[in-house]
A and B are shown apart, each in its own frame.
Chain A
Amino acid sequence: MSPSKPLITIHDLSVTYDETDHAVLNNINLEIGEGELVLVCGPTGCGKSTLAQILNGLIPYTLPATITGEIEVCGKDPRVVTTPGMARDVGLVFQDPEGQLCTLFLEDEIAFGPENLMVPHDELEKRVDHLLDIIALKRFRYESVFELSGGQKQKANIASVLSMQPKVMIFDMPTANLDPIGSMEVFKLIRKLVTDEAATCIVIENRLDELVPLADRIVVMTQEGSIAFDGTPVEVFQHSQIIMDGLGVELPQVVELAARIHERSSSSLGNRIPLTIEDTSQWMGTLLDKGIIEICKDKSSTKDTSAILNENIVEVKDVHFSYGKGPEILKGISFEMQKGEMLAIVGNNGSGKTTLVKQLVGLLKPTKGSIKVCGMDLKTSNLAEVAARASYVFQYPEHQFVAQGQSVFDEIAFNLRTAGYDETYVKERVDLLIDRCQLHGKETVSPYMLSGGEMRTVSVACMLSTKPELLILDEPTYGQDHQRITALMMRLQELRKSGTSVIMISHDMRLVAEYASKVLLLSYGVVEFFGQPEQLFEMPDLLQKADLKEPPICALVRNLRSAGYDFPSGIITTSAFFEAIKAR
């Protein structure tokens, strides 16, 4: 692919960090033209962020590395020009919305970059005004950036980079830490930049549902740091099977659906891959009309509920909570969870999800109401008793590491050794967990030296070591690629079958649809919904009220139903869709 006027040209680029002996990027060849939106995806650790940091000069300016090959960005070699020197040409938005804030107030944050570039005062005023309009945060101009929501913070970060008027904008996993509404705000802004401002954007992202319809090109990277595919979405998704199963990248749900139909059908379907829900609805309608696919009305999808027992593991009755004399965070929460369930707790940022699960493990005590977990009344049980039976995996794995950074093996063994198990059992159990969590070869490495995804896996393995009756995970898939997510979720399903109940806080609605047996929807400290995901995803008004978004397949099925196709209810996953159709 060779755009007419390349802003970025990379030839045979290979990068090796000074402290490692293997190349992170291998023989990369890439050209990106003016006004293009290029989506870069690939498995965890494939070098996506390294590529971004090469382009704005952070590598080698701040992170020493050996770089071979040729790079030209806006006519400059970023290896020679320093990062501050590249700032006029390349703007980089990082994952962490809070860590990259440089000042205290929104207007200062936006002005910070151009101030450093000596932009005159009147021009600074103009840029700040314009960008506040673009990000629709004018009313927060004089507010502290630390008081904005996650989505607003990330929009502030984007504006602070845009204010330098770079020729290229790079977004490195900009929605990784955001709830659905925050992610949607950021995606809308990227869309606006591309359509209204004709910006050249490189977006590194693994959640592709929202972005693929916007992308001019998609670059798919391999675990070894090379480019596997580079082309238009339609060209690249001709290789859906390899991308999904071989490279571990999660496809947009509608693309996955189309790819599976292509795979199953013996009829000639051409090479059409629809990219939007509307296109897919139309395409499916044609296939249904032609009889290439048929609806099997007699088949209805049901999740395996055999592991669910008629016995409660969690009983929450009228729980209220506030921090000190502050406003009430939880306002009369009541629900019961049965043994063997996988409960997803969903809701927007600030809805009280983390506060609720902290109550379930005894880290916080309700100001009113009662909680029973694993048969223990939390009013009378101490933290150690609760922690022995109910484990909680925090969102950021480093918070939970305690083995003095020695090794992954020691970290996982810590809970077992503290509980007094003999070393033979400890070794056997840790080896088993290393095997099941795919941590081979990392046993002797310090957990702090692992990638974000690997750290997350280690933190889950640590909490599984003592075979808890209840496992609670806060955003378990954050920073993980599709393969790791699938492996983790399969492991959780196995645990469920062996009697461990699971609660997960998640913003990933596809994951909730696929794996949760129940969903608890919290909105501003109140339970708005408690029931099966199939029921929740048929309530679009409630989802909208709670700033959530259904998986694309739900909208697709609703479109098809509106068009007169008699699909059964409760289709919220790809597998359920294929149970409801027959392809010829």
Chain B
Amino acid sequence: MFQYARIPSILAKFDALSKFFWIICVAILVFIYPPEYNLILFIVILLTAIFLGHINYGRLKGALSILLALALLFLLGGFSYKGETPLFSLGSFIYYKEGLIVRGASAARILNIMLSSMLFVWVTNPRDFVNGLVKLGMPYRIAFTIFVGLNYIPILTNEMGYISDAQKLRGLRRDKSIKGRLVQYKTFLVAVLLRSLRKTQITAFALDSKAFGASTERTYLNQFHWSTGGIGWLIFWIILVIASLVAELGLHLFTGHLLAY
């Protein structure tokens, strides 16, 4: 779900840094736009994922279900907002229109940033991203440490499954009391932690044994190159950001209002 999908597509051919800066453009736009514009932006990103990223239905469905659940949580937070126009009530809790607008705006922003980040992960080889970060001046030891950490997520997920099964068989999950559950979580976490440390230690040994950090610089089999398509794509979004900022500024100067809530 949160890993590079390795699907041939137009977006996959774009260089990693152009796509990374595109997320920053999206992050700026969501704070300029009101919820209805953010909804349009969401649809644009979704269509980009389908047509330019060739992301399949299963992956999108999984991502959207997570995003919608998150949006719902945000919207539920509207109950805590005291407005003037009641929409409905649940017992003594009243949900106001103003709450819906404010929380809806936050939800729309978060959803756009998350969807664009997910799309970035699906269509970007993490190696190219790391090499790109190094090109931008990040020390390669820091960039690679992040990369190795990302690689470790699927291994850790598998380990957690094994540990959970193994501990169930030893009868650890039978006590349903709060104290019992706390003991279970602690035991589970200790096992996961120790297993992770063991695995991490092997990776650290392997990194040292392969001369990682032997020099302040290194060479690359796959060097980072900016792609024409990626730059074109980025320029388009930069223009959109600038145009939106100009429109926002113009609106503010002439009407005293802002687009965003």
Given A99-B203, A384-B171, A87-B214 contact (CB < 8 Å)? yes
Stretch binding the partner chain, chosen from B93-101, B107-115, B189-197, B253-261:
B189-197
Stretch binding the partner chain, chosen from B19-27, B147-155, B226-234:
B147-155
Complexed CA–CA distance, A398 and B198 (Å): 10
The reply to whether B127 and A84 contact each other, CB–CB distance below 8 Å, is: no
Distance of A64 from chain B, by nearest CB (Å): 14
B158-212 at interface with A (beta carbon < 8 Å)? 159, 162-163, 165-172, 174, 186-187, 190-191, 194-195, 198-199, 202-212
Distance of B125 from chain A, by nearest CB (Å): 8
Complexed CA–CA distance, A113 and B210 (Å): 5
The reply to whether A399 and B191 contact each other, CB–CB distance below 8 Å, is: yes
Given A84-B212, A119-B219, A462-B155 contact (CB < 8 Å)? no
Q: Which residues of chain A are near B151, meaning CB under 8 Å? A: 101, 103-104, 146
The reply to whether B166 and A124 contact each other, CB–CB distance below 8 Å, is: no
Q: A111 interface residue, CB < 8 Å from B?
A: yes
Q: Total interface residues on B, using CB and 8 Å?
A: 51
Distance of B191 from chain A, by nearest CB (Å): 6
Q: Which residues of chain B are near A104, meaning CB under 8 Å? A: 4, 125-127, 147, 151
Stretch binding the partner chain, chosen from A3-11, A196-204, A389-397:
A389-397
Complexed CA–CA distance, A116 and B207 (Å): 10
The reply to whether A384 and B174 contact each other, CB–CB distance below 8 Å, is: yes
Complexed CA–CA distance, A164 and B212 (Å): 12
Q: B220 interface residue, CB < 8 Å from A?
A: yes
Q: Which residues of chain B are near A394, meaning CB under 8 Å? A: 162, 165-166
Q: Which residues of chain A are near B222, meaning CB under 8 Å? A: 107-108
Given A399-B162, A401-B191, A404-B190, A58-B214 contact (CB < 8 Å)? no
The residue of chain A having its C-beta at the shortest distance from the C-beta of B144 within the complex is A102
Q: B84 interface residue, CB < 8 Å from A?
A: no
Q: B221 interface residue, CB < 8 Å from A?
A: yes
The reply to whether A62 and B170 contact each other, CB–CB distance below 8 Å, is: no
The reply to whether A108 and B127 contact each other, CB–CB distance below 8 Å, is: yes
The reply to whether A111 and B221 contact each other, CB–CB distance below 8 Å, is: yes
Complexed CA–CA distance, A92 and B204 (Å): 13
Given A116-B218, A398-B191, A398-B194, A83-B209 contact (CB < 8 Å)? yes
Q: A358 interface residue, CB < 8 Å from B?
A: yes
Q: Within the complex, which residue of B190, B198, B203, B219 is in contact with A100, where a contact is CB–CB below 8 Å?
A: B203
Q: Total interface residues on A, using CB and 8 Å?
A: 67
Q: Which residues of chain A are near B212, meaning CB under 8 Å? A: 84, 102, 112, 116
Q: Which residues of chain A are near B155, meaning CB under 8 Å? A: 98-99, 146
The reply to whether B170 and A84 contact each other, CB–CB distance below 8 Å, is: no
Q: Within the complex, which residue of A62, A88, A400 is in contact with B208, where a contact is CB–CB below 8 Å?
A: A62
Q: Within the complex, which residue of A102, A115, A391 is in contact with B148, where a contact is CB–CB below 8 Å?
A: A102
As a 0/1 sequence over residues 8 to 29 of chain B, the CB contacts with chain A under 8 angstroms (1 = contact) are 0000000000000000000000
Given A146-B154, A418-B171, A404-B186 contact (CB < 8 Å)? yes
Complexed CA–CA distance, A101 and B210 (Å): 11
Q: Which residues of chain B are near A103, meaning CB under 8 Å? A: 127, 147, 151
Q: Which residues of chain B are near A361, meaning CB under 8 Å? A: 169
Complexed CA–CA distance, A541 and B216 (Å): 55
Q: Which residues of chain B are near A105, meaning CB under 8 Å? A: 125, 127
The reply to whether A415 and B208 contact each other, CB–CB distance below 8 Å, is: no
A285-334 at interface with B (beta carbon < 8 Å)? none
Q: A383 interface residue, CB < 8 Å from B?
A: yes
The reply to whether A121 and B220 contact each other, CB–CB distance below 8 Å, is: yes
Distance of A356 from chain B, by nearest CB (Å): 14
Q: B215 interface residue, CB < 8 Å from A?
A: yes
Q: A96 interface residue, CB < 8 Å from B?
A: yes
Distance of B137 from chain A, by nearest CB (Å): 18
Complexed CA–CA distance, A361 and B166 (Å): 11
User: Which B residues form the contact surface with A (CB < 8 A)?
Assistant: 4, 6, 125-127, 147-148, 151, 154-155, 159, 162-163, 165-172, 174, 186-187, 190-191, 194-195, 198-199, 202-215, 217-223
User: Which A residues form the contact surface with B (CB < 8 A)?
Assistant: 53, 56, 58, 61-62, 82-85, 87-88, 91-92, 94, 96, 98-105, 107-108, 111-121, 124-125, 128, 144, 146, 160-161, 164, 358, 361, 363, 383-384, 387, 391-392, 394, 396, 398-402, 404-405, 414-415, 418-419, 448, 462
Apart from A84-B213, A115-B221, list 20 A-B contacts with CB within 8 A: A83-B209, A87-B214, A96-B199, A99-B155, A99-B202, A102-B206, A104-B125, A105-B127, A118-B218, A146-B155, A383-B169, A384-B174, A387-B168, A392-B169, A399-B162, A399-B191, A400-B166, A404-B186, A404-B187, A414-B170
9 A-B Cβ contacts within 8 A?
Answer: A56-B209, A100-B205, A105-B125, A105-B127, A116-B214, A146-B151, A396-B162, A404-B190, A415-B170
Closest 4 CB pairs of A and B: A99-B202, A84-B214, A100-B206, A87-B211
